[in-house]
Each structure stands twice: as C-alpha cells, then as structure tokens.
C-alpha cells in the first residue's frame, strides 16, 4: 500500500533527505549547473565560511523577484561569500548596481573573489562594516528597488526600518529565516534570533509603510521561511 511505501521511505531516508532530493529534482529542470555559482560555494567553504547561504532555488527566486520588478538598484544586508549577491546582481540590467553590506573582513574578501570570478565586479559594491552604520549613511533619495535582509537576525527590525526608508514605493523588502523550523512560534524559545523575528512581526502588524506576508519554505536547507513585503 501507499502507506507501507511511505513507512519504508521514512525508515530508509531521513526526512531532510527527502527535501534535498526534492530540491535536486526540481532544480534539475529549472536551474542549470553554473560554474560561477559552484565556484562561489566551493571557494567559500574552502576558506572556512559557514554554509549558510541561500539555496539555489531561493537564490533563483530572489533573482526572479528582481527581474519581475525590473530592479536597477538592489540592497543586500549580509553578504557572506556573495552567493545570493551573484543571483541578485545577475538580474540587473547594464548600469544596475547591487550594494551589499558585510561586517566580516574575511567574508567580504572571499565574496569579492567570487563576484570577480562571476564577472560582476562592476555591478556589485561590498561595503565592509556594521550594516546599521552603513545603512544610516545612505541618503533617503537613493531609491532602491529591492532590499534583501539576511544578516544578524537580532537586528531585523533596525534593518527593515532602514530598508523602508531606502526602498521606493512599489519596491520589495525580503527578510530571510523568519520561521526557523517553527521556533519563532514556539513560546518556550527565547533565542536572540527568535526574539529578533518576533520584534519585527510586532512592528509589521501596524506598519503603514509596507504590506507583508510570511512564507514557510522547505527544501535542502530544511524548514524555514521568509517575509515578503511590498513598500506602500
């Protein structure tokens, strides 16, 4: 029976593997192998960077969002090795620019290598330093089309407030890792990252600057989710 088949599947394959397999299957149709992205991942791990970049499918979704709105200026908070930056920058037209903020010197150096290798040197500017300091220096007239927030989760609200100031009306603000395998909604969980997401949700509840939703995701990175907000 189907149920027996399911039981044997469960017995032989941990649940996470099912989602790894599922992403691999879908990606085999929709996301061609890509030398620059593979180089970025390998070079990042070779330099000891944590393996916490977005998945290929999530990277492509960011790319598609940017394309959908014809983004010319994109802001990213949290560069790591530049994996999501490559996806985002590739969506930009000639003359488009991605500004990505990173606190860790080694991460920024590896990201620069990866972006250079991907031929994106002229489209991407990495700004080293605490993101909040950099954000506060960016003039309000900058008018970004899209902001992707993926750094220290405790500061989510501070970053979103700055993104609301900097993203044009009709632009998009995306915040990663807001479900955290259900921990955000688990009252017994008081991790800093969890508290950071809850604080952001509290703010968004009555925020007149954006309209937002949380989308749970499951894939090779396990069970998590992101907030998608449109600037009103």
Residues of this chain that bind ligand SAM (CB under 6 A): 52-54, 78-80, 83-84, 101-104, 107, 130-131, 150-152
- Closest CB to ligand SAM among 130 and 222? 130
* Nearest-angstrom CA–CA distance, 1 and 163: 52
| Closest CB 209 distance from ligand SAM, rounded Å | 22
Beta strands 210-219 and 167-176 are unpaired
* Nearest-angstrom CA–CA distance, 220 and 199: 27
Q: Token match 């604080």: residue?
A: 199
Query: Quick one: which of 94, 29, 91, 24 has its CA closest to 55?
Result: 24
- Closest CB to ligand SAM among 76 and 164? 76
- Closest CB to ligand SAM among 65 and 83? 83
| Closest CB 108 distance from ligand SAM, rounded Å | 8
- Closest CB to ligand SAM among 109 and 203? 109
- Closest CB to ligand SAM among 44 and 209? 44
| Closest CB 135 distance from ligand SAM, rounded Å | 9
| Closest CB 79 distance from ligand SAM, rounded Å | 6
| Closest CB 83 distance from ligand SAM, rounded Å | 3
Beta bridge partners of 230: 172, 211
| Closest CB 86 distance from ligand SAM, rounded Å | 8
- Closest CB to ligand SAM among 113 and 152? 152
Angle between helices 192-205 and 156-166 (to 10 degrees): 40
């Amino acid at each position: 029976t189907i149920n027996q088949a399911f039981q044997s599947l469960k017995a032989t394959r941990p649940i996470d593997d099912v989602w790894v397999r599922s992403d691999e299957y879908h990606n085999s149709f929709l996301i061609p192998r890509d030398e620059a992205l593979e180089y970025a991942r390998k070079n990042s791990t070779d330099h000891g960077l944590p393996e916490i970049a977005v998945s290929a499918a999530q990277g492509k979704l960011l790319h598609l969002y940017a394309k959908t709105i014809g983004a010319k200026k994109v802001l990213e908070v949290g560069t790591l090795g530049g994996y999501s930056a490559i996806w985002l920058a590739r969506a930009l037209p000639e003359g488009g620019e991605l500004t990505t903020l990173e606190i860790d010197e080694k991460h920024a150096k590896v990201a620069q290598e990866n972006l250079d290798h991907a031929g994106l040197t002229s489209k991407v500017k990495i700004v080293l330093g605490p993101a909040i300091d950099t954000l506060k220096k960016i003039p309000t007239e900058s008018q970004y089309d899209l902001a992707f927030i993926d750094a220290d989760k405790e500061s989510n609200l501070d970053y979103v407030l700055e993104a609301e100031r900097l993203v044009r009306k009709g632009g998009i603000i995306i915040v990663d890792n807001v479900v955290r395998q259900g921990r955000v909604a688990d009252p017994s969980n008081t991790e800093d990252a969890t508290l950071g997401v809850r604080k952001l949700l509290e703010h968004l509840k009555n925020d007149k600057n954006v309209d937002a939703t949380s989308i749970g995701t499951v894939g090779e990175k396990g069970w998590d989710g992101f907030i998608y907000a449109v600037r009103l």
